[in-house]
């Protein structure tokens, strides 16, 4: 029996998500697997369309039709949740898994006061009275850095600036004390000047509570500073996952290398990832073998016929045939392997 602390808060196993469209079934996620330990921040990076948001939606059970989970499992603190009935899954959302959305301007219902939305959420998940829920809501607003929360709590969303609204969104996501938070590009829609504050806030709050985080971002600087581990996604698959210092400083997967090479060297300058030559294939046109093969500088024969599995390399896992060979070749694997094409 594993000890309580050793069970990951979240464990995703071979998660596969498909969208049934008129032009056939598109596989948006293909056997995605990763774990998030208690208190850990997992960064998730990858080009637009790589499947980062779909992963978040699948975990929290909000894939809209025509999408569906076609395989694999999502296990939360040892309990499988991807096959829970609707009502049981609803109780998991907010209470055990929280979610922070990208755009705070559209995440809040414009017609209700902040107090109404906070108190509603708290009372859905706890037995607190209205007055107790309100006290808790005020304390939360104070924690997320809203000045004069007793007064501001009765404001409407449009009476806050974008950064303040995202703080409210964070308070809403945390108000029932979930163990796990999905933050899907939480600062992309914000003014550059407040992005760092919001990231720092999420990091601090989750650290204080021991909450685990899945942080989706395009900002490698944020990943380097905030995440404990990072997952690089490509075309609905995990390309590489491992401790942030390894993956960012010395990536193994050719796609990850391209991504990390694209980090702006200027300190503190947040930039979107520079494109690697070529574009990610559309879901309807993923090549056989390794999905990255049309763009890979190190492609070889096996890459066209066989899809690479995620295999352990030291502390990390990589889905690339370069690393699936005798140990002696690993050390030389930064160059082209000796196998003839």
Partner 1 sequence: MLAYILRSLMQGLVVMLAVAFIAFSMFRFVGDPVVNMLGQEATLQDRAELTERLGLNDPVPLQFARFVGDAAQGDFGISYRQGRKVSSLILERLPATVELAVLSAIFAFVLGVALGVYAAIRRDGWIANLVMSLSLIGVSLPTFLIGIGLIYIFAVELRWLPSFGRGDTVALGWWTTGLLTASGLKSLIMPVLTLGFLQLTLIMRLVRSEMLEVMRADFIRFARARGIPERRIEFRHALRNTLIPVITIAGVQLGGVIAFAIVTETVFQWPGLGALFVNAVQFVDVPVMSAYLLFVAFVFVLTSLIVDLIYVALDPRLRSGNPAMAK
Ligand X SMILES: Nc1ncnc2c1ncn2[C@@H]1O[C@H](COP(=O)(O)OP(=O)(O)OP(=O)(O)O)[C@@H](O)[C@H]1O
- Return residues touching partner 1 (CB under 8 A): 60, 62, 86, 90-95, 98-99, 101, 103, 106-113, 120-121, 124-125, 156, 158-159, 169, 172-173, 176
**Is 152 or 237 the residue whose CB approaches ligand SF4 more closely?**
237
CB atoms within 10 A of CB 23: 6
- Contacts from 141-149 at CB under 8 Å and sequence distance 24+? 141/114, 141/167, 141/168, 141/171, 143/171, 143/205, 144/168, 144/170, 144/171, 144/174, 144/201, 144/205, 145/197, 145/201, 146/171
57 contributes a contact to Mg ion by CB under 5 A: no
**Residue 154 C-beta: closest distance to partner 1, Å:** 11
Q: Which residues of 126-147 are buried (b: 16+ CB within 10 A; e: fewer)?
A: eeeeeeebbebbbebbbbbbbe
Which residues fall within 8 angstroms of residue 138, CB to CB, at 6 or more apart? 149, 150, 153
**Residue 17 C-beta: closest distance to Mg ion, Å:** 13
211 contributes a contact to Mg ion by CB under 5 A: no
Q: Which does 49 bind (CB under 5 to 8 A by kind): ligand SF4, ligand X, Mg ion, none?
A: ligand X
Residue 187: which of 145, 227, 216 has the closest Cα? 216
Dump the DSSP string for 75-109.
EETTEE-TT--HHHHHHHBTTTEEEE-S-HHHHS-
Compute φ and ψ for 144, nearest 5 degrees. Answer: -85, 0
**Residue 186 C-beta: closest distance to Mg ion, Å:** 11
> For residue 297, what are its two tokens?
């500088």
> For residue 310, what are its two tokens?
């995620």
Q: Which does 53 bind (CB under 5 to 8 A by kind): Mg ion, ligand SF4, partner 1, none?
A: Mg ion
- Angle made by CA atoms 51, 61, 44, in degrees to the nearest 5: 35
Cα–Cα distance between 145 and 191 in angstroms, integer?
17
**Residue 218 C-beta: closest distance to Mg ion, Å:** 9
Compute φ and ψ for 222, nearest 5 degrees. Answer: -65, -40
Phi-psi label, residue 264: left if phi above 0, alpha if psi -120 to 50, beta otherwise: beta
**Is 112 or 332 the residue whose CB approaches partner 1 more closely?**
112
**Is 136 or 237 the residue whose CB approaches ligand SF4 more closely?**
237
**Residue 190 C-beta: closest distance to partner 1, Å:** 15
Q: Which does 50 bind (CB under 5 to 8 A by kind): ligand X, Mg ion, partner 1, none?
A: ligand X
**Is 114 or 232 the residue whose CB approaches Mg ion more closely?**
232
Per CB under 6 A, residues contacting ligand X are 19, 21, 26, 28, 46, 48-54, 67, 283
**Is 67 or 308 the residue whose CB approaches ligand X more closely?**
67
Q: Which does 19 bind (CB under 5 to 8 A by kind): ligand X, partner 1, Mg ion, none?
A: ligand X
**Is 53 or 212 the residue whose CB approaches Mg ion more closely?**
53
Name the residue whose CB lies closest to Mg ion.
53
Whether 144 contacts 170, CB under 8 Å: yes
**Is 53 or 187 the residue whose CB approaches Mg ion more closely?**
53
**Residue 156 C-beta: closest distance to partner 1, Å:** 4
**Residue 46 C-beta: closest distance to ligand SF4, Å:** 14
**Is 164 or 260 the residue whose CB approaches ligand SF4 more closely?**
260
Footprint on this chain of Mg ion (rule: CB under 5 A) = 53
């Amino acid at each position: 029996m594993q000890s309580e602390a050793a069970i990951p808060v979240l464990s995703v196993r071979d998660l596969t998500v498909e969208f049934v469209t008129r032009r056939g079934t598109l596989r948006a996620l293909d056997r995605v697997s990763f774990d998030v330990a208690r208190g850990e921040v997992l960064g998730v990076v990858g080009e637009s369309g790589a499947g980062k948001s779909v992963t978040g939606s699948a975990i929290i059970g909000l894939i809209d039709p025509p999408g569906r989970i076609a395989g694999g499992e999502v296990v939360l603190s040892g309990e499988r949740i991807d096959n829970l009935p609707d009502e049981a899954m609803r109780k998991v959302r907010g209470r055990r898994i929280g979610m922070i959305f990208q755009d705070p301007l559209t995440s809040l219902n414009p017609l209700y006061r902040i107090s109404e939305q906070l108190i509603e959420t708290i009372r859905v998940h706890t037995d607190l009275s209205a007055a107790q829920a309100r006290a808790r809501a005020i304390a939360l607003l104070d924690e997320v850095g809203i000045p004069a929360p007793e007064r501001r709590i009765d404001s409407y969303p449009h009476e806050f600036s974008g950064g303040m609204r995202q703080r409210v969104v964070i308070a809403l996501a945390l108000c029932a004390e979930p163990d796990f938070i999905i933050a899907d590009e939480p600062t992309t829609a914000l003014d550059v000047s407040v992005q760092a504050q919001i990231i720092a806030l999420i990091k601090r709050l989750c650290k204080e509570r021991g909450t685990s985080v899945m942080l989706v971002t395009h900002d490698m600087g944020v990943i380097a500073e905030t995440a404990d581990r990072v997952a690089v996604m490509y075309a609905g698959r995990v390309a590489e996952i491992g401790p942030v210092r390894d993956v960012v400083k010395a990536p193994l997967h050719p796609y990850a290398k391209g991504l990390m090479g694209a980090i702006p060297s200027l300190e503190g300058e947040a930039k979107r990832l520079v494109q690697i030559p070529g574009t990610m294939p559309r879901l309807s046109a993923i090549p056989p073998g390794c999905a990255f093969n049309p763009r890979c500088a190190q492609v070889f024969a096996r890459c066209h016929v066989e899809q690479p599995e995620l295999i352990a390399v030291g502390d990390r896992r990589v889905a690339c045939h370069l690393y699936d060979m005798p140990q002696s070749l690993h050390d030389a694997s930064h160059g082209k392997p000796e196998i003839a094409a």
